[in-house]
Chains A and B, each alone.
Chain A
Amino acid sequence: MFRRERSIPLRGSAAALCNNLSVLQLPVRNLTHFGVVHGPSAQLLSAAPEGVPLAQRQLQAKEGAGVSPPLITQVHWCVLPFRVLLVLTSHRGIQMYESDGSVMVYWHALDAGDASLVQAVFARGIAASGHFICVGMWSGRVLVFDIPAKGPNIVLSEELAGHQTPITDIATEPAQGQDCVADMVTADDSGLLCVWQSGPEFKLLTRIPGFGVPCPSVQLWQGTVAAGYGNGQVRLYEASTGTLHVQIDAHARAICALDLAPELLSAAEDTFVHIWQLSRSPEGGYIEVEHCHGECVPDTQVCGARFCDPSGSSFAVTGYDLAEILRFSSM
């Protein structure tokens, strides 16, 4: 059972995007950082354990050419071996900052070269994999940036081709060992998932086809891919083979966010957040899913949701048009 905790007020309401909440847990400093996209700006704020807001900062999307100011598509903290960077993607490019958002260390402008007049050009989907940061593009390409231990000498090392439609989300986890080398999964608007092995050169391991709906959110845990789809379904696949293991008719509207803590959290536009327990069955070794908890956030089109601590005993939610971060913790 979860109870509602004190909300954290936001300067601007959350935009109707998917994966619109990033959380950076800093247990050593007893702080949690939150990142939410408002539109042309994103808000970062840090809070103490009871949700007391301590500091906040707003970041703007860079380069204002065109009729309206460029919109941000996602904000996400990337935890690398020696540093943490904050990455912001927009319709103009990719901005990388030191983790508190104080200094921009890198700017990559999007090249709209191949885009036809009718295609929207943007970057979306951000994840850290070892000392790389991977960012998805409207074209389906995934840019791989090599990040040094410190300083701004960030280099675009590779461009991955695997998708033909805009990337929606990217998920990574440290490789599990000999049996499973898959450590990154990318998802796109057609619902296609690509499973990769990271390295000086990334290798495409498997493709998991879509079925006509976008896959806005994806997670990777112990060799299992968890994917949330536009028709409200959550599916779990074996990362190395692409075999479907679990199919959940989880939500009544499009899923907008997933998180793994070791529990799985799914949030959708139907106002619900569900928490699922994942385990491996002793006999077959395959994944088992059990529903733990459902939370209705009344009249709120949820657009982001994340666990706030490693054990999954608390989570935070953002909603379209809502100028606060809602918090829940287990009793």
Chain B
Amino acid sequence: MSVRTLPLLFLNLGGEMLYILDQRLRAQNIPGDKARKVLNDIISTMFNRKFMEELFKPQELYSKKALRTVYDRLAHASIMRLNQASMDKLYDLMTMAFKYQVLLCPRPKDVLLVTFNHLDAIKGFIQDSPTILHQVDETFQQLTEIYGGLSAGEFQLIRQTLLIFFQDLHIRVSIFLKDKVQNSNGRFVLPVSGPLPWGTKVPGLVRTFNNKGEEVRKVEFKHGGSYVAAPKEGSFELYGDRVLKLGTNMYSVNRPMETHMSGASENLAAQTQESIAPNPLAKEELNLLARLIGGMEIKKPSGPEPGFRLNLFTTDEEEEQAALTRPEELFYEVINIQATQDQQTNEELARIMGEFEILDQPRRSASKGDDLLAMMDEL
């Protein structure tokens, strides 16, 4: 499929992750300065130049396993910790939200507007950090350079690639059920009314022409929907009215965040096929992943700043209960890099880490390779 999909997938999922974390930090009454630090650390890791360089290379999409590993690392890029159950729930919410946004995009190209909505909101989180703001603006520039000139056909391919990635995910999300954008069977509501995509006329007209190109007949028909023409096209500039609401923060009011596990999995055969089949390609994917994560300059929790645990559920008991009752087919397997056993992978990662620039901040441990491997093994 399209080799230009990963940056869009990563940035939009990342944006949803930040919306959710922001809301949970406030709901859990984490002090403002700590909350800001968490978001700043995650955002600056996400938009790190080396990482973005790797991300924007034309490549196929990673598997769900591999992508989940990247977000696990990202969520732990600061003083905040998440238990497995909370991380699972975070990922469920992120993926269902972006799936919804892709599905509802009027035009395939509108996925770029959704991405810009996420970036606009991210800039809102880091208004007081000019360095990170600049990184985000640079990413904006890169997106415009790469996607600004793509044809409608190429965007259609990107859309199809994204939908194939999200195929068969039907986790029910409370906020979607309440807003009636998702049915109780987990499927999203596709409205047959509202604004049309930019460039599409209101259905209902049949025009006939003669050989000279003159219109000879005009007949209307009942098309069954209730559509209106789009008022204007969303802006693709650095600043502008995106018009589209998809990709904006739906958690800004105190909205419920429950997800419902029962009945969420369908096509069991198709799903388990992906997660349990021994993957002979794992090594190549592992190497790609190592490069990508190698570009993340994760700062180790340092000095007097104590870490804290964020809970995606309302109580600790709920979190424990969720961990025990998660259906097996929805287990996210995270790639496990066996540091001690696979000597070759160890060397490969160490080499990659060695390629990156020395940070201005003093490193705390002797071997960068060990750092990354140790942190990954903790997952």
Number of contacts between A and B (CB, 8 Å)? 183
Among A245, A274, A290, max chain B CB count under 10 A is at: A245
B288 near A: Cβ within 8 Å? yes
CB within 8 Å for A68 and B63 given contacts A13-B270, A248-B205: yes
B249 near A: Cβ within 8 Å? no
B364 near A: Cβ within 8 Å? no
A304 near B: Cβ within 8 Å? no
Assess the B208–A214 pair: CB atoms within 8 A.
no
Which residues of A are found within 8 Å of B58, using beta-carbon distances? 117-118
A122, B270: Cα distance in complex, Å: 23
Which residues of B are found within 8 Å of A284, using beta-carbon distances? 210-211, 216
CB within 8 Å for A213 and B209 given contacts A252-B225, A252-B227, A296-B192: no
A321, B170: Cα distance in complex, Å: 9
Assess the B270–A246 pair: CB atoms within 8 A.
no
A188, B227: Cα distance in complex, Å: 28
A190, B205: Cα distance in complex, Å: 24
CB within 8 Å for A212 and B209 given contacts A91-B1, A253-B197, A270-B192: no
Assess the A250–B190 pair: CB atoms within 8 A.
no
Out of A13, A168, A299, name the residue touching B190 (CB < 8 Å): A299
Q: Can you list, as one digit per residue, whether each of A217-254 has a CB less than 8 Å from chain B (1) or not (0)? A: 00000000000001111000000000111111111111
Which residues of B are found within 8 Å of A299, using beta-carbon distances? 183, 187-190
CB within 8 Å for A249 and B62 given contacts A120-B2, A286-B210: no
Assess the B205–A68 pair: CB atoms within 8 A.
no
A30, B303: Cα distance in complex, Å: 77
Closest Cβ of chain B to A268, distance in Å, is 9
Segment touching A, from B9-17, B137-145, B155-163, B232-240: B155-163
Assess the B267–A250 pair: CB atoms within 8 A.
no
A23, B131: Cα distance in complex, Å: 58
Closest Cβ of chain A to B281, distance in Å, is 6
CB within 8 Å for A67 and B168 given contacts A13-B267, A214-B156: no
Segment touching A, from B31-39, B146-154, B368-376: B146-154
Closest Cβ of chain A to B111, distance in Å, is 13
Which residues of A are found within 8 Å of B157, using beta-carbon distances? 120, 166, 189
Q: Can you list, as one digit per residue, whether each of A111-135 has a CB less than 8 Å from chain B (1) or not (0)? A: 0000001111010000000000000
A93 near B: Cβ within 8 Å? no
Closest Cβ of chain B to A106, distance in Å, is 24
Which residues of A are found within 8 Å of B60, using beta-carbon distances? 66-68
Out of A17, A118, A249, name the residue touching B205 (CB < 8 Å): A249
Closest Cβ of chain B to A80, distance in Å, is 30
A216, B189: Cα distance in complex, Å: 24
Assess the A323–B190 pair: CB atoms within 8 A.
no
Assess the A13–B203 pair: CB atoms within 8 A.
no
Closest Cβ of chain B to A124, distance in Å, is 10
A45, B183: Cα distance in complex, Å: 29
Q: Which residue of B lies closest to A233 (CB)?
A: B201
Closest Cβ of chain A to B340, distance in Å, is 26
Closest Cβ of chain B to A33, distance in Å, is 21
Within residues 283 to 331 of chain A, which ones have a CB less than 8 A from any CB in chain B?
284, 286-291, 294, 296, 298-301, 320-321, 323
Out of A120, A247, A300, name the residue touching B3 (CB < 8 Å): A120
A38 near B: Cβ within 8 Å? yes
Q: How many positions in chain A have a CB within 8 Å of any CB in the partner chain? A: 65
Assess the A301–B164 pair: CB atoms within 8 A.
no
Out of A15, A67, A165, A244, name the residue touching B62 (CB < 8 Å): A67
Within residues 151 to 171 of chain A, which ones have a CB less than 8 A from any CB in chain B?
165-166, 168
Out of A166, A294, A296, name the residue touching B153 (CB < 8 Å): A166
Q: Which residue of B lies closest to A91 (CB)?
A: B1
A243, B267: Cα distance in complex, Å: 47
Assess the A231–B163 pair: CB atoms within 8 A.
no
Closest Cβ of chain A to B106, distance in Å, is 7
A16 near B: Cβ within 8 Å? yes
Assess the A249–B203 pair: CB atoms within 8 A.
yes
Q: Which residue of A lies closest to B288 (CB)?
A: A67
Which residues of A are found within 8 Å of B164, using beta-carbon distances? 15-16, 39, 71
Assess the A118–B167 pair: CB atoms within 8 A.
no
Out of A118, A249, A254, name the residue touching B4 (CB < 8 Å): A118
A232, B227: Cα distance in complex, Å: 13
Within residues 230 to 278 of chain B, which ones have a CB less than 8 A from any CB in chain A?
266-267, 269-270
Which residues of B are found within 8 Å of A190, using beta-carbon distances? 151, 153
Which residues of A are found within 8 Å of B199, using beta-carbon distances? 212-213, 231
A148 near B: Cβ within 8 Å? no
Interface residues in chain A, defined as those with a beta carbon under 8 Å from any beta carbon in chain B: 11-13, 15-17, 38-39, 64, 66-68, 71, 91, 117-120, 122, 165-166, 168, 188-190, 212-214, 216, 230-233, 243-254, 270-272, 274, 284, 286-291, 294, 296, 298-301, 320-321, 323
A-B interface, 4 closest residue pairs, ranked by CB to CB distance from nearest: A189-B153, A291-B221, A16-B163, A214-B153
Given A91-B1, A252-B223, A298-B190, 13 further pairs, Cβ under 8 A: A13-B266, A16-B164, A71-B164, A190-B153, A245-B208, A247-B206, A248-B206, A249-B205, A252-B200, A291-B221, A299-B188, A300-B190, A320-B103
Interface residues in chain B, defined as those with a beta carbon under 8 Å from any beta carbon in chain A: 1-4, 58-63, 103, 106, 108, 151-154, 156-157, 159-160, 163-164, 167-168, 170, 183, 187-190, 192, 196-197, 199-211, 213, 216-217, 219, 221-225, 227, 266-267, 269-270, 280-281, 284-285, 288
Q: List 12 A-B contacts (CB under 8 A).
A: A15-B164, A66-B281, A71-B1, A91-B1, A118-B3, A245-B209, A246-B206, A254-B108, A272-B225, A284-B211, A289-B208, A323-B266
